[in-house]
Structure 1
Amino acid sequence: MAETYTLRGHAAMIADRVRMDAYQAALERTVRPGSVVLDIGTGTGLMALMACRLGARRVFAADPGDSIRLARAAARASGFADRIEFIQGLSTQIELPERADVIVSDLRGVLPLFQHHVASLADARDRLLAPGGVLIPRMDTLFAAPVQAEKDYQAIVGPWDDHGRGFALDAARRAALNEWNKTHFGADDLLAPPRVWAVLDYRTERNPHVRGTLRWTAERAATAHGFAVWFDAELAEGAGFTTGPDGEKTIYGTAFFPWLAPVPLAEGDVVEVELQARLIHDEYVWVWNTRVEGPDGEKARFRQSTFLAQPATTADLRKRAHDFRPVLGEQGRVDQLVLGMMDGGATLEEIANALQRRFPERFRVWEEALSRAGQLSQAYAQ
């Protein structure tokens, strides 16, 4: 299931004036009196309310999180409860009685390549959008540039280099440098002009994987610590925002991809990065392979991936191999018992009793068995 935001997270998104002003402008350009609107990932319901105020005849507001209860309360308090139908669930698993003229969403993270964002919009476009309907956003363009980022780099390596305990923590340091981080950069931090890495046109896009090679020529001498990636959002005609160094700070921030070591650049040095993002299950695996070339030859070469930041054992990796023959462990057998009894014929109390009888060493206290049964009930029961 896709990740849902905390209440504090929803508050931060609403408080982001740049984001909210752009979405308000996009809705004003697309919602007409009588429109049917689908708000995917409605959260606390603000965009659904905005659509109603602009004259939408009917609004479907979908979200898998429990914050949808607060959205219902907001609809009642605002006088729009009769026009908004709230649906607690993923948009990919819902059906609508009529297709939407406008679909609005913000399923991104720091970057648009986040969980099942691309696939969810493709599904909504194909199944839930009326012919001639409008998607908000309609396009995100991703940019990148090498950066000087001493402070951000030290925040990553400092705990492993300067802990003062006399131990070698090189493995953890290297793992930390195979993760990217959220930060903010100004235009003065860039060491070369930005290059377009990818364009996600949600009116046609359905491939969640992105791969491309970026090439820059350094415009000044400085120490480069990695590169930044950000996006420009085109929500509707004349409505959008940027998360890059030329714009105001937003809740999205900018992604910083550090290198394994800082690289002193001279004016005219060439930096080449092969950057790819591949969706594996529910998360993206990022790969960035870097080569820096000076007038006298190669100055640096790095191969990095978020896969290398995960402390996976050989046994963990083996369990994902195509020829592995899995056998349920105890936790799997516990969940299998609970799910097998969720057929409408047993109460949670009866399921908890069965768990305790079957796994007495695992559930010495009945309340623990009831808690596990309740967790699975909340996740999977109708």
Structure 2
Amino acid sequence: DKERVKAFQRAIFETVKKGDIVVDLGTGIGILAFFAVQAGAKRVYAIEQGDIIKIAREIADKNGMSNKIIFLKGDSREISIPEKTDLLISEIIGCFALDEGILELVSDAKERFLKEKGIIIPNSFKMWLAPLEAEEIYNQKVAFWEIPYGVDFSPAKERVINCTWSEEIKKTNFISKPKIINEVDLQKVENIEMNKVVTFSVERDSILHGFCGWFEAKLSKGVLLSTAPDGPLTHWRQLFFPVKEPIKLDKEDKITARVSTTRLGRSVVYNWFIDI
């Protein structure tokens, strides 16, 4: 995903000062830790739960960075480091920003790892929502389960309508102007749960098949990473929230949507409810 990687690279080079101490949550293959070293970091603590950390170590060796990166395998909430850091980097971002538990992990890391005036990348999120008419996506993900192949799969459909789906969604599918449903400042996380309500005014006669969600992440003062439908495509694409059954709407009808989060272990799942 070039858009994502290039955006983080620009933000890291814009933010890291020579001699900085950095912590990278969910380092994966290590790319953001490597950028931090290239940008002048004195030392990077790269934390990762998965076995991919072994490959990250090999890449660090291959590129002469092993003396500046300390790889730590495990859950960041169960790991300690011996010094406070100037910068906390995390790319634990889901399709609708919060899905991978970034709020809980960053809140813990900020408290234990970051200096009082330390910086976080990303700095903040704006989460957008728009109602949409998207028959093709709905048919592929939901209606398909009604009676395919002469078999009643309705129990599967009941589960499918409570799932979100990463899809490439067009702005032309919107039936109302999108609205910001949530804003998060990672420097000042006070509540790791989300429970927000937003109301839309329908702009044309249409059929509601669900909602489209995406985010804007402010990575640094000069770098914004967006997954909006009218922007460059990223691996996140957009998130489709289906309705139980398509709903016929008239122009100027009002749609109220409530979106909340529930934590399941380390992951976060979304709950959504609508009122017409």
Same structural fold, with TM-score higher than 0.5 when normalized by the shorter chain: yes
After TM superposition, give the deviation of residue 265 of structure 1 in Å: 2.1
In 2, Cα distance between equivalents of 1:211 and 1:158 = 28
Q: How does 1:340-379 map onto structure 2 within 5 Å? A: none
Report the CA distance between 1:289 and its aligned residue. 1.7
CA offset digits 1:294-314 (Å, max 9, x no partner)? xxxxxxxxxxxxxxxxxxxxx
For structure 1, list consecutive stretches of 5 or more residues without a partner in the other structure: 1-15, 293-382
1:36-84 Cα deviation digits (max 9, x unpaired): 1111111111111111111111111110111111111111111111111
- Say whether 1:159 aligns with 2:147: no
2:101–2:268 contact (8 Å) kept in structure 1: no
Partner of residue 200 from structure 1, selected from 184, 190, 205: 184
SS at match of 1:121: helix
1:186 to 155, 170, 174: 170
Select the residue among 220, 242, 264 that pairs with 2:204: 220
Contact 1:142 1:230 in 2 (8 A): yes
Matched, 1:34 2:19: yes
C-alpha distance in 1 between matches for 2:274 and 2:179:
15
Identity of aligned residues (%): 29
Equivalent residue in structure 2 for 1:118, among 103, 110, 115? 103
Question: Which one has a larger percent strand, Structure 1 or Structure 2?
Answer: 2
How do 1:27-66 residues align onto structure 2 when only pairs under 5 Å count? 27-66=12-51
Aligned to 1:371: none
Secondary structure, aligned partner of 1:18: helix
User: Which residue in 2 is equivalent to 1:291?
Assistant: 275
Which structure carries more relative contact order (alpha carbon 8 Å, separation 6+)?
2
1:18 and 2:6 aligned: no
Q: Which of 51, 70, 87 is equivalent to 1:102? A: 87
- Provide the secondary structure at the position in 1 that maps to 2:158: helix
**Residue identity matched to 2:222:** G
Contact kept? 1:139, 1:202, Cα under 8 Å: yes
Distance of 1:58 and 1:75 partners within structure 2: 13
Contact kept in structure 1, 2:24 and 2:44, CA below 8 Å? yes
Per the normalisation by structure 2, the TM-score is 0.95
CA contact (8 A) 1:181 1:256 kept: yes
Is contact 1:59-1:83 (8 Å) kept?
yes
More helix by share: 1
Pick one of 125, 130, 153 that aligns with 1:169.
Answer: 153
* 1: CA distance, partners of 2:157 / 2:82: 53
Kindly state the Cα deviation for residue 284 of structure 1 after the two structures are TM-superposed. Answer: 3.1
Distance in 2, matches of 1:259 and 1:195, equals: 18
**Aligned partners of 2:99 and 2:269 also within 8 Å:** no
User: Could you tell me how far apart the structure 2 residues matched to 1:274 and 1:214 are?
Assistant: 7
Task: Give the unaligned 5+ runs of structure 2.
Answer: none
Q: How far apart are the structure 1 equivalents of 2:71 and 2:266?
A: 25
Deviations 1:57-112 (A, max 9, x none): 11111101111111111111111111111111121112212111111111122122
Q: Secondary structure at the match of 2:209?
A: strand
In terms of Rg, which structure is larger? 1
Cα distance in 2 between the residues matched to 1:20 and 1:285? 25
Distance 1:116 1:206 in 2: 14
The residue identity in structure 2 corresponding to 1:128 is F
Shift of 1:115: 4.2
Q: How does 1:53-92 map to 2 (within 5 A)?
A: 53-92=38-77
Aligned match of 1:316: none
Q: Deviations over 1:158-204 (max 9, x none)?
A: 43235132x33323222211211111212111111111111111101
In 1, the alpha carbon distance for the partners of 2:269 and 2:80 equals 31
C-alpha contact (below 8 Å) 1:182/1:255 kept by paired residues: yes
The answer on whether the counterparts of 2:147 and 2:153 sit within 8 Å (CA) in structure 1 is no
1:262 lines up with 2:246 in the alignment: yes
- Separation in 2 of the partners of 1:177 and 1:116? 22
**Retained in 2: the 8 A contact 1:63–1:89?**
yes
User: Matches of residues 226-237 of structure 1 in structure 2 within 5 Å?
Assistant: 226-237=210-221
Q: Is the 2:94–2:236 contact (alpha carbons within 8 Å) kept by the matching residues of 1? A: yes
Question: Which position in structure 2 is the counterpart of 1:243?
Answer: 227
Following superposition, the deviation at residue 222 of structure 1 comes to: 2.0
Offset of residue 278 of structure 1: 2.2
